[in-house]
Amino acid sequence: MDIKLHNTLTGTTEVFQPLQSGAVSMYHCGPTVYDRAHVGNLRSYVFADTLRRVCEYNGYKVHQVINITDVGHLSSDADDGEDKMTKALNRLGKPLSLAAMREVGTTYFEAFKNDLGALNIEPPQEFPRATDTIDDDVNIIKILVDKGYAYRTTDGLYFDIAKFPAYGKLGGIKLSEQRDGARVQINAEKRQPADFALWKLHPTLGWDSPWGKGFPGWHIECSAMSRKYLGQPFDIHTGGIDHIPTHHNNEIAQSEAAFGMPLARYWLHNAFITMPNGKMAKSLGNSLTLSALADMSISPLAFRYWLLTAHYRSPVQMSLEAIRAAQQALIRLLAVASERSAAGGQIHSAYRQKFLSAVNDDLNLPQAVAILWELIKDRQVSDADTYATMLDFDRVLGLDLAHMPRIAAEDIPLEIKALADARQEARLSKDWTKADALRLEIESRGFNVKDTAEGYDVRPR
């Protein structure tokens, strides 16, 4: 069965055809490691992980790269402002040196990997760091200089987008509509407002280059790392929708200008997690980390489950109530897996076909989750076959059902415990009417209460 993906480059949903039969190469824009990733950032990597899992579910061998930006990402897309890593050094009281920058980057890189592990995200084959590929950046910039795509200013080297007529083809960006808008020409030496930095000069910090000491632009780093590890072109490039107007169009321009061939054939982008007042962002002071959710007794896998219930191209508004509801659904799912686990089951072919059809339709994970619950409710399917099919689906969903309970069954919501305590008091008082009413209320919220010699036991239904 074909995989269909929505390609931002063409604006259409297309049948995926890899460059090499049986293999898929994919690159995902990784974090700038100046701070902890927030859950809005992490949506991109849950999306990338499910994309990889869908490809593997279809029998492809996947070569996956997630880069780590640890220098060169300025605070503005217009190549203005302070490097985010140097901002981290200032925030943490560290010396302004490459060694200190590397140390801070390593700290937040390790935190990022821990977040991926908590979300049951499969690690990529490569995690290249920008500071380890400076020579690759310089080599591509040399080619662009030789071909006449770059020009010099007092603060660095810039790409001349006027020399690349196809600029903005990703997402249909029309620069004529943006010149007086989002991309203001802050640097008066730039020929066009959208010209972007290839190399930024710095008097004391950075690496030596033919143009002087400094550091690479954020965009050239991704072009260099993707080409180094995947070649050019490669199959799939992903990122958040905020990368479309600037970062990804810049990657395309410099890579195609340098080498005369496409960078990637399919470009996929996930929507934001929004807050009531707009998108989630560290700069807006409204971000939430995975560890903050854990402090609220919300499992990382519950957050993953919540993301699976919305299509990756649809924005979702952050709601602790919705994530807690997802946690209860996941508890029930784990309880079903525990109750029906049995050896010798067979994957149910009809349900697998429905599931495959859903995930291959531009990663329709909400429908795939619905099919999982349809399977669970179908008592014509044996427990052993249900369990085998659940584990097969989990190859894509990534909820770690084979190693339950990641969320312990005793993690019952406080309001359910309160209802169960009230019912127990009613039983001890022989107020059977109230006890029955409370039992029905507990069941309506997705839990069963069972009387025991010690009192009672509450379990997800």
Report which of residues 77 and 259 the model is more confident about.
259
Q: Extract the tokens encoding 310.
A: 């919305």
Higher pLDDT, 284 or 66: 66
pLDDT at 337: 86
CATH 1.10.3470 fits 296-403, yes or no: no
CA nearest 72: which of 178, 191, 219, 175?
219
Higher pLDDT, 286 or 22: 22
Per-residue pLDDT of 102-154, as tens digits, reads 999 999 999 999 999 999 999 999 999 999 999 999 999 999 999 999 999 99
pLDDT tens-digit series, residues 216-273: 999 999 999 999 999 999 999 999 999 999 999 999 999 999 999 999 999 999 999 9
Q: Which two structure tokens, joined as six digits, stand for 387?
A: 């369990």
Domain 4-148+163-170+219-275 part of CATH 3.40.50.170: no
Q: Find tokens 């490809």 and name the residue.
A: 55
Q: What pLDDT is attached to residue 77?
A: 62
Q: How far apart are CA 239 and CA 256, in angstroms?
A: 19
| For the chain, percent of residues with pLDDT exceeding 90 | 68
Could you please report the per-residue DSSP string of 374-408?
HHHH-TTS-HHHHHHHHHHHHHHH---GGG--SS-
Q: What is the pLDDT of residue 411?
A: 61
pLDDT at site 453: 76
φ, ψ of residue 355 to 5 degrees: the values are -65, -45
Q: Return the amino acid letter for 249.
A: N
Specify the higher pLDDT residue, 292 or 253: 253
Farthest CA pair distance, the chain? 90
User: Measuring CA to CA, how many Å separate 95 from each of 137, 204, 303, 452?
Assistant: 25, 12, 37, 62
Instruction: Please tell me the pTM assigned to this model.
Output: 0.86
Interhelix angle 134-146/218-230, nearest 10 degrees? 100
pLDDT score of 181 more than 50: no
What Å distances lie between residue 265 and 60, 160, 224, CA to CA?
A: 17, 24, 17
Q: For residue range 369-383, list pLDDT tens digits in order.
A: 999 999 999 999 999
- Mean pLDDT in residue range 413-422: 75
Residue 180, pLDDT score = 41
Residues with Cβ within 8 Å of 418's Cβ and at least 6 positions away in sequence, in order, are none
